[in-house]
Structure 1
Amino acid sequence: MSTVETVDADGGGSLHQRILSDISEKILSGAWAPGHRIPFEHELTTEYNCSRMTVNKALSQLAKAGLIERRRRSGSFVRQPRSQAAVLELHDIRIEVEALGLAYHYERLKRLKRRSNAEDRALLGLSAAGSLLWIEGLHFAGERPFALEQRLINLSAVPEARDEEFREIAAGPWLIGRVPWSEAEHRIRAMAADESVADALDIDPGAPCLVVERRTWSAEHPVTHVRFVYPAESHTLVARFTPSQG
């Protein structure tokens, strides 16, 4: 039986991207825990009706990003974390909103390609100036703003983002589907809404907000810095963890 790499019927990209996205989602969501064996190459070839080269390319990229470990003659496995600690997941806000039984939608507010300045480089952890994409958007739960997103994307790490408009989809799930992350850093703080945040979230100036800032890397390359601002009453952070094994 011959297999040919094709484009997904829904326009979602190549089979390589689909395999990359599907496996990344299972790992990042926790459906496949550390140590879980990834289906063998011949199993994925059958499942996606594609060439073994296409599967190998996707698995090699996941291994390079540090998400999986490839063992000779044993197969590929979800990589064990480097340390046992409380970690916040990188999740799609859509899932969080729909779990509340509310309709979700996203609106892009601003999009700008520009040269990085000193503040950008500090946020992204870049050592030299380069091109980046700045995006601001709103996530809605029903008719109410749920979270304000302000994001920088390092275009040297994700050049394909240069031509993506991000009108219908937020940058987070788009990035997860194309650039498997190998490391993430979260910073959490409280703030009082200034005029621009209050206007975007439809809350009173000075109202308490929860701010989650995140940086992600792929194979030691800074990918994105994002700041999510939530009205304080609408969001709770939960970290579930186990005792350290020393």
Structure 2
Amino acid sequence: MMTDTIDTSSKSLHQRILDDIESNILSGRWPPGYKIPSEQVLTEQYACSRMTVNKVLTQLARAGLVLRKRKTGSIVMPQNSQSAILEIYDIRDEVSALDKRYHHGILARTIRAPTKAEADNLSLGPRRKLLALTCLHYADDKPFCLEERIINLGVVPQAAEADFADLAPGPWLLDHIPWSAAEHRIAAEAANDAAAQTLNIAANTPVLVVERQTWRLEETVTQVRLTYPGASHAVTARFTPSQRLLNPA
């Protein structure tokens, strides 16, 4: 049930320039080493002040996406050569790989202010709004994964109007917002009463919990907790050696 509304029509010029450049970098349209248009060119292109462009490039430099050189301008930085061991998978693909029929349902949605713990842990501003979602993913007609997610509407305002009926929140976010960093935490836990009831398993049954947070530049995009019945799920990852081995084993 909606408890608030977010105006998705307004976007500052600073944010529009930031979005455009960041999208070009993260999509690969501007590869590492690509020379970004000069401040003067960007000022003319967006009909804005040079200070606005300078602030955008400074923010991108702090995030490690561009390197600014005084005489030669700004270039796209190579991203960290160490690939994440775990990619961000679509749960739909996990179910399909088991030759089972996938579907999902949104159990709850609320727009609210962050709790103090969320504001502190996610570095959210005091006026930020969150979209809190509970989604249940099915394999055939059996509960497969419980998804508990919060989305930062300051970064993804359009999520406030999405119903996630055709596309679950995870793949919807991947389609609508670029992310620049992600962190995973995986743990074996005992199912609490609420999770056990939703997944149709006994309380204290072993479950596999994947917690993930993604960032766009320096701001949190989303934080999600995925709970899988432990007896029916395993994590498999394939990875290759990085170009630089900091701690060879």
- Hey, what does 2:122 align to over in structure 1? 124
Give the 5 Å matches for 1:33-52. Answer: none
The corresponding residue for 1:60 is none
Q: CA deviation at 1:168?
A: 3.1
Q: Distance in 2 between matches of 1:149 and 1:123?
A: 19
Tell me which amino acid in the other structure corresponds to 2:203: P
User: Residue 124 of structure 1 contacts residue 223 of structure 1 at CA under 8 Å; is this kept in 2?
Assistant: no
Report what 1:242 is aligned to: 241
In 2, Cα distance between the equivalents of 1:245 and 1:81?
15
Match of 2:137 in 1: 139
State the one-letter code of the partner of 1:147: C
Q: Name the structure 1 match of 2:98.
A: 100
Post-superposition shift, 1:120?
A: 2.2
Q: 1:144 and 1:134 mapped to 2: Cα distance?
A: 24
2:103 & 2:144 partners in 1: Cα distance?
Answer: 10
TM-score, normalisation: structure 1? 0.66
Label 1:80 to 1:139 Cα distance change in 2 as closer, same or farther (>3 A): farther
One-letter amino acid of the structure 1 residue matched with residue 154 of structure 2: S
The residue type paired with residue 183 of structure 2 is E
| Aligned equivalents of 1:174, 1:217: Cα separation in 2 | 16
Task: Return the TM-score normalized by structure 2.
Answer: 0.65
Cross-structure match for 1:15: none
CA contact (8 A) 2:131 2:152 kept: yes
SS in structure 2 at match of 1:87: coil
The one-letter code of the counterpart of 2:169 is A
- Which ranges in structure 2 are unaligned for 5 or more consecutive residues? 1-22, 33-44, 46-59, 67-75
Aligned-partner Cα distance in 1 for 2:210–2:123: 17
Q: How far has the Cα of 1:134 moved from its partner? A: 0.2
Q: What is the rounded CA distance, in whole Å, between the counterparts of 1:99 and 1:191 in structure 2?
A: 25
Is the Cα–Cα contact under 8 Å of residues 155 and 221 in structure 2 kept in the other structure?
A: yes
When residues 206 and 88 of structure 1 are mapped into structure 2, their CA distance, relative to the original with a 3 A threshold, is: same
> What is the CA–CA distance in structure 1 between the aligned matches of 2:104 and 2:120, rounded to whole Å?
28
Identity of aligned residues (%): 41
Of residues 191-200 and 121-130 in structure 1, the stretch that sits farther from structure 2 once superposed is 121-130
- Asked whether the equivalents of residues 86 and 241 of structure 1 are also in contact (C-alpha less than 8 Å), the reply is no
Mapped partners of 1:123, 1:100: distance in 2: 36
User: Quick one: which amino acid aligns to residue 191 of structure 2?
Assistant: A
Q: 1:245 Cα shift?
A: 3.7
Deviations 1:12-40 (A, max 9, x none): xxxxxxxx8xx96xx8xxxxxxx89xxxx
Q: Secondary structure at the match of 1:151?
A: strand
Deviation string for 1:180-237 (max 9, x for gaps)?
A: 1100011111211111111111111110001100000112221000000001122222
| 1:84-123 Cα shifts (integer Å, max 9, x gaps) | 2652101111011101110000111000001111122245
Aligned length in residues: 190
Q: Corresponding residue for 1:161? A: 159
Please say if 1:226 is aligned against 2:246.
no
Map Cα deviations across residues 61-100 of structure 1 (whole Å, 9 max, x no partner): xxx7x8x98xxxxxxx9x8541526521011110111011
Q: Match of 1:216, SS?
A: strand
Cα distance change of structure 1 residues 205 and 126 upon mapping to structure 2, 3 Å threshold: same
- Alpha-carbon contact 1:115-1:130 (below 8 Å) kept: yes
The separation in 1 between residues aligned to 2:219 and 2:160, in whole angstroms, is 17
Match of 1:58 in 2: none
Question: After the TM superposition, which residues 15-94 of structure 1 pair with which residues of structure 2 at under 5 Å, given as runs?
Answer: 81-84=79-82, 86-94=84-92
Question: CA contact under 8 A between 1:107 and 1:168: conserved in structure 2?
Answer: no
